[in-house]
Amino acid sequence: MGLLTRNSIRFQQLLAAAISTSTHQPIPTTIISSSSSSPPLFSHFSLQIPLSRSSARSISFPFSYSYSSSTMVDATADPNMDAVQRRLMFEDECILVDENDRVVGHDTKYNCHLMEKINSENLLHRAFSVFLFNSKYELLLQQRSATKVTFPLVWTNTCCSHPLYRDSELIEEKALGVRNAAQRKLLDELGIPAEDVPVDEFTPLGRMLYKAPSDGKWGEHELDYLLFIVRDVKVNPNPDEVADVKYVNRDQLKELLRKADIGEGDLKLSPWFRLVVDNFLFKWWDHVEKGTLNETADMKTIHKLT
């Protein structure tokens, strides 16, 4: 698909299907750019459709599709971006929300993580952070891959990502959309099959809102759902997403925190993970061990943390 949007391709398919129906045969179509100097993301193009398979004549439909100039420039300004991450940046549509977690729109993962847009347009998107414990009550951590656009090679909680702007992940009742997204990403990132992490086993404990720059260009501005789950699972990390994994108990996590604080071994923790650790994790860990997570859940409050 490249960088051509699904919308333009869908338009092409629908128009070709309509003509095919009237002529009772499939008709090939071609997208023709408006000029030889058009950028990789066409803002103007025509749809050329043969009148029949035996005819040399064709009809051409002028067609335009608007992109913001900043998106078009930035899309070609990152030649060193990993191909997998580039695809996800432009294909994934994050859910935009206000500070009360009301859906206000959607935008590409690319735009949602540009600090320029975060600061100028106050783009805030919905996210989730999974904390998966095994039956020994050890927490599974991951180190983000070196190719991640934001916060590469930092250690963080089990899985951190975004529900997408799709019906199954927009369901707000009991945070079902977010739980569906968490199940999807545990498979994508860690190879954990859906049957090993049923959506009903996730316990949403709370929500937090935070902003964190990653470097001069990229960053996060998220309304983050904190999901806890206790399951024994087999892990098969996806190297495009994850560099390493480890289980830690409380004392081992405290040692990681100590090393991160003094910069030992260049160890770094993600800012959202550190916020959860500093504000919630150890007291919630008690409830993990007691089997009383539902007693500590508070999904009415949105904690604004810095």
Q: Exposure of 120 by Cβ count < 10 A (0-12 exposed, 13-18 middle, 19+ buried)? A: exposed
Q: How far is CA 161 from CA 95, 183, 209, 272, in A?
A: 12, 11, 14, 11
Length of the chain: 306
Candidate list 93, 220, 222, 241, residue with the active-site label: 222
Question: Max CA-CA distance within the chain?
Answer: 76
Beta bridge partners of 200: none
Place of tokens 């996806």: 238
In 3D, which of 59, 2, 62, 56 has the Cα closest to residue 33? Answer: 62
Does residue 138 have an active-site annotation?
no
Phi, psi of 130 (to 5 degrees): -95, 135
8 Å CB contact between 158 and 90: no
Does residue 160 have an active-site annotation?
yes
- Residues 6+ away with beta carbon under 8 Å from 18: none
What's the rounded Cα separation, in Å, for the pair 142 and 159? 7
Candidate list 159, 160, 189, 220, residue with the active-site label: 160
In 3D, which of 130, 175, 133, 153 has the Cα closest to residue 272? Answer: 130
Active site residues: 160, 222
